[in-house]
């Protein structure tokens, strides 16, 4: 019988010392295959998660004829094929190249680009960053120096709604209203013309390589640079001929750029439309009619009328303040309280969430849609159908927080999720046909089909995908549940975690891991269920940069406690 056990106290050997990399990364690709216990593994980079109908067909053929009949979706919106035979490499590469999935063999592992999956589909956001992703991909493949980037180096392209800005990109682009954008590396940010965004991202990557070379520690990612090692983003932009204005330093981090006085990231979330975020994750920020509370960030200057002040998790219009904790009252006049209740009118984020386009979120995620509907605590929220939200969204989470669109019909797009991040060939083919020859694979192991002619056609497809076994219901108990490969596919795994993973509702994503590498775990706050090798699991809550052990009488009870409590107290 599976059981929970008290976690072993974490140790941090060499804490404070710089990480030293004495080799290149071993990340698999479409050509560099990884040998696992279940055969060879190929990882195919999909910049922005974009696939055409032809490419969807080809991947289905490859999965059925060369692999184990499944396609796995990664936390960067890429696709993996497992169970490949020893002699399949040439046939696989030929299939992929013929479908346009291998534009450059030298560059195939550095095409790591995530982009807002609903960009350009729902009227929220300030730019179609999927177009930026295509342009950036072309730039990456055109340069001789870019193959020096690690296969783990990540570009995050956010359209201003705050979804992918919190995914830990090494280079982050955030679209603004008015045709401008912000490019950021660590806490350094510059405002640029939106048209220059792809070139600016490329310049930022070049600046990182220069910094990594100067540091001499073999860093694969920006976060691995030694303390004090700067990335000369300004110099790189100037060298690339990109006009830029430096923005003030602030409390950003690995989640993206911090930009007081303009678009910003605080705690991995985005403010745009002239708002400001100051201080750390717990401090209030007010500017230009926007309010941030408890580390949350409001996006879009139209979201909140008037000047607002946040204090301790509550917000009111008119420049006054309400003190109190996270459980503060709902405030009328177009606000949402941190408990998730919503007043009519435009809405404000509270409790570590991001808001875009007048929608509301509470508890660490983004709400999609118009005003007047209840926010989704800890998940993607609802709104009116004409605002692009899922009608009847019940407030349960998506597969990661913040950011992923909820399952359902969103405007004229359909959003579904892969159970435990994996789909069969039959489920994959059920995604076809594509109304606009485009499928978007998301970093939350979801799939978005944009461009349906009307809501009826979209709902018909959603029903078909539900019948195929994809997660199309916002009430599914499998939403928010993820797992690594586990046994028998991975030699390092101590358990068959995919068989052990249990469904259940909760405000935080949960990830089941077979070993301490925790492959594919979510970003932000999440629940860690780690196999110990003796039939038991350790359960730990990762929140706000802290790790909190959680125990209980049964494993199911322990995981439920961790997922539904912000900061649970460990029990004996």
What's the confidence (pLDDT) of residue 308? Answer: 30
Q: Is the pLDDT of residue 427 over 80?
A: yes
User: Are 61 and 135 in the same domain?
Assistant: no
What's the confidence (pLDDT) of residue 434? Answer: 98
Other beta carbons less than 10 A from residue 239's beta carbon: 12
Q: Quick check: is 572 in a domain? A: no
Tokens of 219: 């860093």
User: Are 400 and 358 in the same domain?
Assistant: yes
Q: If you average pLDDT over residues 280-299, what whole number do you get?
A: 32
Residue where one domain finishes, among candidates 237, 270, 303: 270
Q: Is the CB of residue 140 less than 8 Å from the CB of residue 146?
A: yes
Greater confidence (132 vs 285) lies with 132
Q: How many domains does the chain have?
A: 4
Q: Is the pLDDT of residue 445 over 60?
A: yes
Q: Quick check: is 110 in a domain? A: no
User: Are 131 and 248 in the same domain?
Assistant: yes
Tokens of 445: 């192991």
User: Are 147 and 221 in the same domain?
Assistant: yes
Q: In terms of pTM, does the model score above 0.85?
A: no
* Residue 481 confidence class, pLDDT cut points 50, 70, 90: confident
For the segment 110-138, what is each residue's pLDDT rounded down to a tens digit? Answer: 999 999 999 999 989 999 999 999 999 99
Q: Is the pLDDT of residue 550 over 70?
A: yes
Please spell the DSSP secondary structure of 143-200, one letter per residue. Answer: -SSGGGS-TT--EEEE-SSSSSTTS--SEEEEE-GGGEEEEEETTEEEEEEGGGHHHH
User: For residue 53, what is the domain's CATH number?
Assistant: 3.90.480.10
User: Are 343 and 378 in the same domain?
Assistant: yes
* Residue 403 confidence class, pLDDT cut points 50, 70, 90: low
Q: Quick check: is 324 in a domain? A: yes
Q: Quick check: is 327 in a domain? A: yes
Residue where one domain finishes, among candidates 441, 456, 476: 476
211-215, 331-335, 533-537: which is most confident: 211-215
Q: Quick check: is 571 in a domain? A: no
- How much of the chain is helix, strand and coil, in % rounded to 5? 20, 25, 55
Lowest mean pLDDT among 88-92, 223-227, 291-295, 468-472: 291-295
Domain extent for 502 = 3-15+480-564
User: Are 459 and 431 in the same domain?
Assistant: yes
User: Are 164 and 219 in the same domain?
Assistant: yes
Residue where one domain finishes, among candidates 476, 493, 508: 476
Q: Is the pLDDT of residue 164 over 50?
A: yes
User: Are 75 and 128 in the same domain?
Assistant: no
User: Are 327 and 391 in the same domain?
Assistant: yes
Q: If you average pLDDT over residues 155-180, what whole number do you get?
A: 96
User: Are 39 and 141 in the same domain?
Assistant: no
What's the confidence (pLDDT) of residue 175? Answer: 98
User: Are 183 and 205 in the same domain?
Assistant: yes
Greater confidence (371 vs 264) lies with 264
Q: Quick check: is 7 in a domain? A: yes
CA-CA distances (angstroms) from residue 223 to 218, 231, 251, 423, 441? 12, 11, 15, 32, 26
Q: Quick check: is 24 in a domain? A: no
Q: Quick check: is 37 in a domain? A: yes
Q: Count of residues for the chain?
A: 572
For the segment 315-364, what is each residue's pLDDT rounded down to a tens digit? Answer: 333 333 333 333 333 322 332 222 333 222 222 232 333 333 333 332 23
User: Are 125 and 95 in the same domain?
Assistant: no
């Amino acid at each position: 019988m599976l059981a929970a056990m008290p976690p072993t106290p974490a140790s941090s050997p060499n804490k404070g010392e710089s990480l030293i990399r004495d080799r290149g990364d071993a990340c698999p690709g479409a050509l560099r295959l990884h040998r696992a216990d279940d055969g060879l593994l190929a990882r195919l980079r999909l910049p922005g998660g974009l696939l055409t109908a032809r490419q969807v067909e080809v991947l289905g053929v490859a999965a059925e004829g060369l692999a184990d009949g499944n396609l796995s979706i990664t936390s960067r919106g890429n696709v993996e094929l497992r169970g490949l035979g020893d002699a399949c490499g040439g046939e696989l590469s030929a299939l992929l190249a013929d479908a346009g999935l291998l534009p450059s063999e030298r560059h195939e592992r550095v095409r790591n680009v995530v982009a807002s999956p609903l960009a350009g589909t729902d009227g929220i956001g300030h730019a179609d960053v999927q177009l930026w992703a295509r342009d950036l991909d072309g730039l990456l493949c055109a340069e001789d120096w870019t193959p020096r980037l690690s296969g783990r180096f990540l570009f995050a392209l956010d359209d201003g709604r705050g979804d992918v800005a919190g995914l830990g990109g090494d280079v982050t682009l955030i679209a603004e209203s008015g045709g401008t954008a912000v490019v950021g590396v660590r806490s350094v940010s510059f405002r640029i013309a939106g048209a220059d965004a792809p070139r600016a991202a490329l310049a930022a990557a070049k600046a990182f390589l220069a910094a990594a070379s100067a540091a001499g520690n073999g860093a694969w990612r920006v976060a691995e640079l030694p303390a004090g090692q700067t990335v000369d983003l300004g110099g790189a932009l100037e060298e690339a001929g990109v006009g830029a204005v430096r923005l003030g330093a602030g409390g950003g981090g690995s989640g993206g750029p911090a930009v007081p006085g303009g678009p910003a990231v605080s705690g991995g979330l985005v403010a745009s439309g002239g708002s400001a975020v100051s201080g750390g994750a717990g401090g209030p920020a007010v500017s230009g009619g926007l309010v941030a509370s408890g580390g949350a960030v409001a996006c879009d200057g139209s979201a909140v009328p008037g000047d607002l002040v946040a204090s301790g998790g509550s917000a009111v219009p008119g420049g006054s303040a309400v003190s109190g904790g996270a459980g503060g009252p709902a405030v009328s006049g177009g606000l949402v309280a941190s408990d998730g209740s919503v007043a009519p009118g435009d809405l404000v984020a509270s409790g570590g969430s991001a808001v875009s386009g007048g929608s509301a979120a509470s508890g660490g995620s983004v709400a999609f849609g118009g005003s007047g509907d209840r926010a989704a605590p800890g998940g993607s929220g609802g709104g009116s159908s004409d605002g692009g939200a899922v009608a009847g969204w019940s407030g349960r989470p998506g597969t990661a927080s913040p950011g992923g669109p909820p399952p359902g019909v969103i405007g004229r797009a359909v959003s579904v999720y892969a159970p435990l991040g994996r789909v069969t060939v039959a489920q994959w083919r059920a995604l076809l046909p594509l109304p606009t020859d485009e499928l978007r694979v998301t970093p939350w192991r979801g799939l978005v089909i944009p461009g349906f002619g009307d809501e009826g056609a979209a709902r018909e497809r959603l029903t078909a995908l539900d019948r195929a076994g994809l997660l199309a219901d916002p009430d599914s108990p499998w939403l928010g549940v993820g797992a690594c490969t586990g046994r028998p596919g991975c030699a390092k795994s101590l358990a068959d975690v995919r068989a052990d993973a249990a469904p259940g509702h909760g405000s935080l994503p949960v990830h089941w891991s077979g070993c301490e590498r925790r492959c594919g775990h979510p970003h932000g706050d999440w629940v860690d269920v780690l196999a110990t090798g003796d039939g038991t699991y350790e359960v730990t809550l990762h929140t706000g940069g802290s790790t909190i052990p959680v125990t209980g009488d049964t494993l199911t009870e322990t995981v439920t406690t961790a997922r539904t409590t912000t900061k649970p107290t460990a029990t004996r």
